[in-house]
């Protein structure tokens, strides 16, 4: 993304200076701790593996269930007593690296890595399948730019599929913010319902909201807007706003869908590479510049939503 927005401008030169002066000392310390943990875990495997093998040998050769349970029990005890979970290290990484990086992007940003966009908000949008068997959300980031308050987090929703595990309904970012036009209805903008094929037409017929007739045939080739009121739907999706939505999708370079409900706007942003955006894999060096730069770039992209959609322009919203 080569953004030219006021909020969320990517400036790699400034970020690199910030990385070296402000983050490098903390990252080097975390790297030392990561190496210690990795070495300890290698030794831990060297202890646990023979116990597991001994358990299987005991079961197969001696047919002693009791001795097998003893071997497996010792292995489990050693694991619980001495294994330091990557989550603990990641918590330090997020507190000491990600949080300052967010402040670098915008001073209002705060991170609560244990929270996320609620499942209630997720369901309220009606952007996704109603049945969700497993829902996880983490890394809740909140902020305010002018009068617009917003939050976003990583979200992963799944559905159980008979005899074949789980099916991912959605994995990516859900962004929630104030909207600068007052409205009373419920509106959803999706890509898949715009499909002119049989599946798209069937989905359109089954959807509870009526299709909103917009003034841009080109926009309707990309998206399908459904909602509760034709007039209010067109009020929200003015010609200028439709152009901004198209621009936003190009900037984010991934599929997006929008929902408008309870005077809030939601944007779902699909994750194309499966990466946990603000986590750090233990196998990767803590001071890996490009890994952190990707997190910085994502944050800038999210902030650009506010500028691209012109959310701080409140000329339509009555106080």
| Each residue's pLDDT tens digit, 234-253 | 999 999 999 999 999 999 99
In a domain, 155, yes or no: yes
Nearest to 168 by CA among 86, 272, 298: 272
* Averaged pLDDT score across all residues of the chain: 83
Query: pLDDT per residue over 123-165, tens digit each?
Result: 999 998 778 899 999 999 999 999 999 999 999 999 988 777 8
Give me the pLDDT at residue 281, please: 82
Residue 262 has pLDDT above 70, yes or no: yes
In a domain, 3, yes or no: no
In a domain, 137, yes or no: yes
In a domain, 93, yes or no: yes
In a domain, 13, yes or no: no
Domain tally for the chain?
1
Q: What is the CA radius of gyration of the chain?
A: 24
In a domain, 16, yes or no: no
Structural domain that includes position 229: 86-308
Least confident of 111-125, 190-204, 263-277: 190-204
Using CA atoms, how far apart are residues 25 and 161, in angstroms rounded to an integer? Answer: 47
In a domain, 153, yes or no: yes
In a domain, 216, yes or no: yes
């Amino acid at each position: 993304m080569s953004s030219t927005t006021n909020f969320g401008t990517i400036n790699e030169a400034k970020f690199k200076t910030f990385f070296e002066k402000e983050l490098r000392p903390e990252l080097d310390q975390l790297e030392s701790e990561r190496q210690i943990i990795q070495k300890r875990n290698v030794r831990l495997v060297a202890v646990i593996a023979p116990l597991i093998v001994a358990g299987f040998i005991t079961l197969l050769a001696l047919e002693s269930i009791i001795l097998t349970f003893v071997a497996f029990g010792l292995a489990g005890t050693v694991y619980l007593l001495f294994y330091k979970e990557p989550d603990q290290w990641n918590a330090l990484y997020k507190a000491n690296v990600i949080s300052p990086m967010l402040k670098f992007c915008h001073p209002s940003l705060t991170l609560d890595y244990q929270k996320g966009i609620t499942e209630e908000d997720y369901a309220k949008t009606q952007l996704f399948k109603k049945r969700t068997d497993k829902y996880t959300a983490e890394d809740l980031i909140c902020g305010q730019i002018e009068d617009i308050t917003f939050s976003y987090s990583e979200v992963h929703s799944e559905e159980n599929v008979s005899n074949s595990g789980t099916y991912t309904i959605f994995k990516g970012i859900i962004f929630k913010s104030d909207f600068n036009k007052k409205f009373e209805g419920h509106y959803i903008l999706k890509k898949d319902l715009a499909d002119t094929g049989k599946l798209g037409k069937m989905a359109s017929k089954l959807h509870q909201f009526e299709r909103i007739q917009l003034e841009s045939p080109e926009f309707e080739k990309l998206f399908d807007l459904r909602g509760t009121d034709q007039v209010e739907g067109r009020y929200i999706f003015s010609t200028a706003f439709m152009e901004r939505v198209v621009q936003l999708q190009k900037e984010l370079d991934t599929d997006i869908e929008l929902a408008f409900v309870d005077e809030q706007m939601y944007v779902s942003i699909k994750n194309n590479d499966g990466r946990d955006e603000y986590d750090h894999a233990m196998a990767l060096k803590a001071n890996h510049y490009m890994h952190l730069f990707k997190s910085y770039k994502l944050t800038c992209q999210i902030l650009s939503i506010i500028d691209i959609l012109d959310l701080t322009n409140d000329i339509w919203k009555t106080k």
